[in-house]
Amino acid sequence: MAPMKTDLCIIGGGAAGLSLAAGAARMGARVVLVEGHRMGGDCLNYGCVPSKALLAAAARAQAMREGGCGIAGVLPKIDHAAVMAHVRGAIAAIAPHDSVERFEGLGVRVIRDWARFVSPREIQAGGEVIRARRFVIATGSRPAVPPVPGLDRVPYLTNETLFELDARPDRLLILGGGPIGIEMAQAHRRLGAEVAVIEAKRALGREDPEAAALVLDRLRAEGVEIFEHAEVRRVTGRAGAITVETADGLLEGSHLLVAAGRQPALERLDLPAAGVEADAAGVRVDSGLRSTNRRIYAIGDAAGQGQFTHLAGYHAGLVIRPILLGLPARVRRDHMPRVTYSDPELAQIGSTEAEARAAHGDAIEVVRADYAGNDRAVTGGRTAGFVKVVLRRGRPLGATLVGAEAGELVGPWALAIASGQRMTAMAGMILPYPTLGELNKRVAGAYFSPKLFENPWLKRGVRAIQRLLP
């Protein structure tokens, strides 16, 4: 049987692969997309969409509980099965955008099977051998399961199985205090479960410590137990009765969620047959996301440079240039935002203060604005949080935002860092009053105020000019 020939073969129908397939097909390329599991990948089915739907339900329950602004709080009546139906409804509403039908309508040939390289230029999938000018590995990632003694002998959840629960966990133990663990801890606590987070190092350890502390303090105030620097020695138990043994004692729960990071999903591909090198982080790629086989690229989680849906979309937009147009492309890493969708939200773009100091020492400046000084935050009773920006030579290197809608407020800083803008651009914005967005302009004011109002030479110049004016 002769191989199927195409311009571009994409392996993986998640965020990265779908973005690339849609763009390439619309630009006129012959595209084959191979997906062995669910279209939409982790983000639609197990990650961003279901988790944010669950967080939205939990936020409504907490708003009823807390009341505020003169409104008495009430105890919410939570139907966990209905909450999970809402989660699945959100997935179903978005799924058509990622469906086989949509992509076939764009002219993409979709093969529903697992792909395996059989040579440096060919894969096998769906009973076909496919030969392409270029291949792109976009297989995403899967939950990493740490080598904890006993974990393989007890039932545990990951993000791939958590959203199948119709009954609320009585007491949820979570291994891992990163963004996934923290988000799911707060969501389940607000929905009525007891929750304990067990983190081997520092919870939200990648984030600015002051910002992370605000998030963790809020979770603790809501009743989430957070154990940091807690080495897990053993896990034992059965369904409904799980015990986690740490150096400080035993923790018992009805359910165990493993949220200890992710690893690239590459094991089915037989990469050595294609001459593609990979390690624990992902496919080894150069600055243009090309692998050790010049015909094969890797994007998204599979490329080992981060695990965000928006990063996957960025990679897709990047590699389409060399693949379809023969133009050079180079990946950047300094302008990629991330958000932990807790309450308060925590957003980061570029360098944290600690990272900037490590790289540039005393050559950086740090300016900030607190939510408590923003009128919209005051009127809404949401004054916990701050925006902090680190700069060098008048240009932002990074911004840390923690507080209400921080994930929305990080946008202007993402633009500023991506385009190399100076702080004058932020200072020149005119924003509607009152909005939380004014926090970003207030940070710019904090940067320029000392230069304007504490400059003795400027004051002398103003007085001299005033004497000369009629």
Answer yes or no: do 122 and 170 share one domain.
no
For residues 319 and 300, what is the distance between their CA atoms, to the nearest angstrom? 11
Beta partners for residue 226, in sequence order: 197
Answer yes or no: do 131 and 12 share one domain.
yes
Nearest Cα residue to 183 out of 307, 341, 309, 60: 341
> Pick from 237, 261, 285: which residue ends a domain?
261
| Number of compact structural domains in the chain | 3
pLDDT at 455 over 80: no
Calculate mean pLDDT across residues 33-40.
96
**Would you state the pLDDT for residue 458?**
77
**Would you state the pLDDT for residue 401?**
98
Q: What percent of the chain has pLDDT over 90?
A: 93
Mean pLDDT lowest among 6-20, 188-202, 311-325, 440-454: 440-454
Answer yes or no: do 88 and 181 share one domain.
no
**Would you state the pLDDT for residue 463?**
84
Q: Which domain covers residue 380, as residue numbers? A: 344-453
**Would you state the pLDDT for residue 452?**
72
- 2 or 201: which leads in pLDDT: 201
Mean pLDDT lowest among 372-386, 394-408, 450-464: 450-464
**Would you state the pLDDT for residue 274?**
97
What is the per-residue pLDDT across 328-377, written as a single tens digit (0 to 9) for each?
999 998 999 999 999 999 999 999 999 999 999 999 999 999 999 999 99
Calculate mean pLDDT across residues 407-420.
96
Confirm whether 331 is domain-assigned: no
Using 50, 70 and 90 to split pLDDT, how confident is the model at 427? Answer: very high
**Would you state the pLDDT for residue 4?**
93
Answer yes or no: do 321 and 178 share one domain.
no
Calculate mean pLDDT across residues 39-55.
95
Answer yes or no: do 267 and 257 share one domain.
no
CATH number (domain holding residue 439): 3.30.390.30
Backbone angles phi, psi at 246, to 5 degrees: -115, 175
> Pick from 278, 295, 325: which residue ends a domain?
325
**Would you state the pLDDT for residue 161?**
96
**Would you state the pLDDT for residue 165?**
94
CATH number (domain holding residue 228): 3.50.50.60
**Would you state the pLDDT for residue 462?**
83
What is the per-residue pLDDT across 414-424, written as a single tens digit (0 to 9) for each?
999 999 999 99
Confirm whether 459 is domain-assigned: no
For residues 190 and 90, what is the distance between their CA atoms, to the nearest angstrom? 20
- Residue whose token pair is 């791939």: 160
Summary mean pLDDT of the chain: 95
For residues 443 and 426, what is the distance between their CA atoms, to the nearest angstrom? 9
For residues 310 and 314, what is the distance between their CA atoms, to the nearest angstrom? 6
List, as one string, the DSSP characters of 242-301.
EEEEETTEEEEESEEEE-S-EEE--TTS-GGGGT--EETTEE---TTSB-SSTTEEE-GG
Answer yes or no: do 139 and 56 share one domain.
yes
CB within 8 A of 241, min separation 6: which ones? 252, 254
> Pick from 273, 294, 325: which residue ends a domain?
325
For residues 442 and 432, what is the distance between their CA atoms, to the nearest angstrom? 13
HEC per residue, 296-307: EEECHHHHCCCC
Answer yes or no: do 240 and 186 share one domain.
yes
**Would you state the pLDDT for residue 470?**
82
What is the per-residue pLDDT across 82-109, written as a single tens digit (0 to 9) for each?
999 999 999 999 999 999 999 999 999 9
Mean pLDDT lowest among 152-166, 249-263, 395-409, 447-461: 447-461
- Residue whose token pair is 């058509």: 96
**Would you state the pLDDT for residue 208?**
97
Confirm whether 337 is domain-assigned: no
Calculate mean pLDDT across residues 42-51.
95
pLDDT at 290 over 90: yes
Confirm whether 419 is domain-assigned: yes
**Would you state the pLDDT for residue 460?**
83
Nearest Cα residue to 349 out of 386, 309, 286, 397: 397
Cα 237 to Cα 82, 143, 253, distances in angstroms: 29, 21, 10
Confirm whether 60 is domain-assigned: yes
Q: What is the pTM of this model?
A: 0.94
Answer yes or no: do 248 and 178 share one domain.
yes
Confirm whether 467 is domain-assigned: no
